[in-house]
């Protein structure tokens, strides 16, 4: 996908980008157990220390405030250009990693698009129906004329903000980790985006028709229900292969109706926590998201199995507008000399597709 220009060009030689990506992947692999490649020869703590020094060096270079030694720290942290460039670097790092990070979380059912400042996003929806074919009489020149018209869905991004506090003095002195601050900002924005996208997805699935034999919403799991819905989604998605998705808890219900099966401790049902394939249809776990309104709660419901065909079209579109903006307070505005910075990111999400999906309520 398209990455904002500021994320690609903020460090001309690309070494700082590579250094931060390695740090970020190390964080994901160790703390979140994600399958990411990173340099195993250096510990995470050492990597964070080196990255913080590289970030300070980049900030000073970009600001043009070229003091000779760290003895000039008092002049560094009071200089307005230092604060400006510090959060310019933060913004660029956030924009560099955020799109791929969001895709990791919601990419199964979400198409992530990046636009410029001021963009709105219009999606043309092609008709899913085919032309009707009728019998022909020898003395009949033509039949009823068929014509189809496109629909259109527009998504307008909305502004979202987070405000963080940082001691510029401590960052430049190496006492606070700027790398950790950037990581927390990325994770915060990514989680907010994931919650928005899931709310749109769940609302759309809840509105599906529940007609007994042809509906795409069924109450109660059975293998027969699952296969019927998979066949429907595949057939009406022009043959695209359906995928059964749900949380780890929901996927525990995806089992054959025949209870005469056995599994060992090395079986995928034990090692993965779910059956990876049932009746020829792949099963995939959906990453869970924390519900930040209630401590310990989870946002994605364990009460649903969704059947989607992501190779045809993603159900939800997530649209990101421009790059991240920031508004930083002055050095002396707060009594404790902590500077506050508001990061502003614009995004919007909505269902814009002609693909179909189905849901089983457990």
Q: Are strands 316-328 and 339-351 parallel, antiparallel or unpaired?
A: antiparallel
Q: What 3-state DSSP class applies to 68?
A: coil
Is 331 among the domain residues?
no
Q: What is the CA radius of gyration of the chain?
A: 26
pLDDT of residue 17: 81
Is 288 among the domain residues?
yes
Residues whose CB falls within 8 Å of the CB of residue 72, separated by 6 or more in sequence, listed in order: none
Give the residue from 4, 243, 237, 242 showing the smallest Cα distance to 113: 4
pLDDT of residue 219: 92
Is 140 among the domain residues?
no
Is 257 among the domain residues?
yes
Q: Are strands 304-308 and 281-285 parallel, antiparallel or unpaired?
A: unpaired
Q: In which residue are the tokens 């950790």 written?
A: 180
| Number of residues assigned to the chain | 362
Asked if 107 contacts 126 with a C-beta cutoff of 8 angstroms, the reply is no
Which residue range is the domain that position 215 belongs to? 203-314+354-361
Asked if 102 contacts 112 with a C-beta cutoff of 8 angstroms, the reply is yes
Report which secondary-structure segment, H or E, holds 138: none
Asked if 297 contacts 337 with a C-beta cutoff of 8 angstroms, the reply is no
Is 150 among the domain residues?
no
Q: In which residue are the tokens 């310019």 written?
A: 88
Distance CA 349, CA 347 (A): 7
pLDDT in tens, 254-286: 988 887 778 888 888 888 889 999 999 999 998
How many CB atoms are located within 10 Å of the residue 328 CB?
20
Is 78 among the domain residues?
no
pLDDT of residue 13: 59
pLDDT of residue 201: 93
Give the chain's residues under pLDDT 70.
1-14, 32-33, 66-78, 169, 172, 331, 336-337
Which CA distances in Å does 337 have to 195, 210, 255, 268, 328? 34, 59, 59, 55, 13
Cα-based angle 115, 116, 119 (whole degrees, multiple of 5): 75
Tokens matching residue 70: 């760290």
The per-residue DSSP string of 200-247 comes to HHHHHHHTS---TTT-SEEES--HHHHHHHHHHHHHTTTTPPPEEEE-
181 — phi, psi (to 5°)? -60, -45
Cα first-last separation, the chain: 35
**In sequence order, what are the beta bridge partners of 343?**
162, 326
Is 262 among the domain residues?
yes
pTM of the model: 0.82
- What is the dihedral sign for C-alpha 112, 113, 116, 117? negative
pLDDT in tens, 38-65: 888 888 889 888 888 888 888 878 777 7
Residues whose CB falls within 8 Å of the CB of residue 213, separated by 6 or more in sequence, listed in order: none
Residues whose CB falls within 8 Å of the CB of residue 170, separated by 6 or more in sequence, listed in order: 176
145 — phi, psi (to 5°)? -70, 135
pLDDT of residue 266: 84
- Please tell me the total count of domains within the chain: 1
Is 268 among the domain residues?
yes
Give the residue from 274, 349, 279 showing the smallest Cα distance to 314: 349
Burial class (CB in 10 A: 0-12, 13-18, 19+), 321: buried
> Residue 300 maps to which CATH number?
3.30.2320
């Amino acid at each position: 996908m398209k990455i904002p220009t500021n994320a690609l060009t903020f460090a001309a030689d690309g070494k700082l980008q590579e250094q931060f990506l390695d740090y970020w992947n190390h964080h994901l692999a160790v703390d979140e157990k994600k399958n990411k490649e990173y340099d195993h020869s250096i510990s995470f703590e050492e990597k964070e220390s080196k990255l913080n020094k590289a970030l300070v060096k980049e900030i000073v270079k970009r600001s043009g405030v070229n003091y000779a030694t760290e003895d000039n720290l008092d002049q560094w942290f009071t200089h307005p250009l230092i604060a400006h460039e510090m959060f310019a670097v933060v913004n660029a790092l956030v924009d560099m990693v955020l799109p791929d990070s969001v895709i990791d979380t919601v990419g199964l059912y979400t198409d992530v698009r990046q636009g410029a400042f001021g963009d709105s996003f219009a999606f043309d929806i092609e008709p899913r129906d085919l032309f009707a074919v009728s019998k022909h009489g020898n003395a009949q020149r033509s039949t009823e004329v068929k014509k189809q018209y496109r629909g259109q869905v527009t998504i307008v991004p909305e502004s979202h903000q987070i405000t963080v506090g940082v001691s510029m003095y401590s960052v430049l002195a190496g006492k606070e980790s700027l790398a950790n601050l950037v990581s927390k900002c990325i994770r915060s924005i990514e989680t907010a985006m994931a919650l928005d996208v899931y709310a749109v997805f769940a609302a759309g699935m809840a509105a599906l028709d529940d007609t007994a034999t042809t509906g795409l919403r069924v109450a109660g799991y059975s293998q027969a229900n699952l296969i019927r819905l998979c066949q429907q989604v595949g057939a009406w998605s022009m043959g695209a292969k359906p995928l059964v998705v749900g949380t780890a808890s929901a996927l525990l219900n995806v089992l054959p109706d025949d209870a005469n099966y056995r599994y060992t401790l090395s079986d995928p049902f034990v090692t993965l926590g779910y059956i990876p394939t049932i009746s020829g249809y792949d099963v995939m776990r959906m990453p869970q998201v924390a519900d930040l309104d209630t401590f310990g709660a989870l946002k994605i419901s364990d009460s649903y199995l969704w059947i989607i065909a992501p190779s045809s079209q993603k159900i939800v579109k997530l649209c990101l507008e421009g790059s991240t903006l920031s508004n930083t307070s002055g050095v002396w505005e707060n009594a404790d000399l902590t500077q506050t910075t508001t990061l502003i990111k614009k995004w919007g999400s909505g269902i814009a597709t002609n693909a179909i999906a189905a849901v089983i309520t457990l």
